[in-house]
Amino acid sequence: MVAPVDPEIPSKGAEGEKTRVKGLTNLTYATIHDAKTSKGIGILVSKDGGYTQIDWSFPETPWKFDPQMEARLSTGDLFRKTAEKIIDNFLSLG
């Protein structure tokens, strides 16, 4: 999961760090639950003045059905439709 932080949401300082961590954690676990997998990588990108802030998370936990998360995911379009496409690159040309 890769997501930008809305520029309207404060992302600097101690309060901004708490907001970024909470958002990253929530979105990463929502992605893991939605994909029904036990691992996931979350990346959150924000601006800090002239710098780009990149926060990341790699949680690993056994997947189990979570009724609260299922309810949250069913109430809106948190994730858009995705598609996979295999692209030949130097790693797959063997």
For 2-61, give the DSSP string: EEEPPTTS--SHHHHHHHHHHHHHHHHHHHHHHHT-SB--EEEEEEETTEEEEEEE--B-
**Does 24 have pLDDT greater than 90?**
yes
79, part of any domain: no
List, for residues 27-51, the tens digit of each pLDDT value: 999 989 988 999 999 999 998 888 8
Residue 13 within a domain: yes
DSSP state of 76: S
> In this structure, is residue 88 part of a structural domain?
no
Residue 89 belongs to a domain: no
pLDDT of residue 93: 61
**What's the number of domains the chain is made of?**
1
- Report the distance separating Cα 6 and Cα 60, nearest Å: 27
Residue 38 included in any domain: yes
pLDDT at 94 over 60: no
Question: Does the pLDDT of residue 17 top 80, yes or no?
Answer: yes
Is residue 51 one of the residues assigned to a domain? yes
Alpha-carbon gap, residue 90 to 7, rounded angstroms: 36
Q: Is the pLDDT of residue 21 over 80?
A: yes
What range does the domain containing 58 cover? 2-74
Dump pLDDT digits (tens) for 58-87.
999 999 999 998 888 888 777 666 666 777
At 19 the pLDDT is 92
pLDDT (0 to 100) of residue 82:
64
Query: Residue 65 domain-assigned?
Result: yes
